[in-house]
A = this chain, B = another copy of it.
Amino acid sequence: MHNLQNTTAAEEDFDSFRKMTLLSMEEICRDIFRENQHRIKIKKEAVAVRNLVNIFHTTLQISNEKGFQTMSLRDLSRSSGLSMGALYSYFCSKDELLEMIQNQGRRIILKILSRRINPAAPPSEQLRTAIRTHLYLTEVLQPWFYFSYMEAKNLKKEQRKKAIESDLVTEELIMGILKQGAEKGQFVVTNPMLTASVIKAVLQDWYLKRWKYSRRQISVQVYADFIIHFIESFVRKPSASCCS
């Protein structure tokens, strides 16, 4: 069925990706601490970062079960092991906590996507990398992506606008690759906008319907391979060996 060598290579690839991303998460919590020192009452960086990571992680966990609005700060206090008072040393309202988490996620996504895609590479390679990287990213940060999508409506106008823009960035990136490929004669794309929408939709399904794929024991590598195959069969010209 599967080439064992390939599967192993893909697994290694994904594992190193996971490690890199999780490291970035702590870095970003440190950044958040430094930037928000004026409103965070804690002064010791080590303590603050440890608790921030804990707060964010616990919030995502509870919210993905029953939603951010339904989660009371008493729930968060109980699960995180921090008292109500301690929590309010890190943010000054429940809404601000929501904003902090949204910002943290957006930042890490941008950081990693732009690090991995090489705009000088051939379009077909860029497309494959974009699809695979996005799927790996949503796999590692699944709780954040799900949270971000489900709670977007609770954001205030300005923050909501940022979330929408961030969402469109990936799509425009993909559309750019498709257009580039079409110009170079490597892809046949009659409607780059709708094609990019479709790609975005199947990428999103991986984190919105995570339970479905878990239940069916589909790994992220298998899903990525299938999606790449699917998209390529649509955008690629019929091979020259046929109908030449």
Please give the distance in Å from A211's CB to the nearest CB on chain B. Answer: 8
Contact call A198/B216, Cβ cutoff below 8 A: no
In chain B, what residue has the closest Cβ to A218? B194
Alpha-carbon distance A184/B208, docked complex (angstroms): 34
B197 x A212 contact (CB < 8 A): yes
Segment among A62-70, A85-93, A109-117 that sits at the interface with chain B: A62-70
Size class of the contact patch on chain A: 35 or more
Q: Does A17 touch B at the CB level, under 8 Å?
A: no
Contact code string A187-221 (vs B, CB < 8 Å = 1, else 0)? 00001011101101110110011001100101000
Chain B nearest CB: distance from A124 CB in Å? 17
Does A6 interact with chain B (Cβ within 8 Å)? no
Task: Report Cα–Cα, A51/B55, bound state, in Å.
Answer: 44
In the complex, residue of chain B having the shortest beta-carbon distance to the beta carbon of A191? B226
Partner of A153, one of B67, B198, B205: B67
Assembly CA distance A218 to B191 (angstroms): 12
- Binding-face segment, A31-39, A75-83, A98-106, A230-238: A230-238
Query: Are B194 and A223 in contact (CB-based, < 8 A)?
Result: yes
Min distance, Cβ A207 to any Cβ of chain B, angstroms: 11
Query: Quick one: CB contact mask for A140-173 with B, threshold 8 Å, 1 for yes?
Result: 0000000000100110000000000000100000
> Are A154 and B67 in contact, with the CB atoms below 8 A?
yes
Residues of B with C-beta under 8 A to A69: 67, 69-70
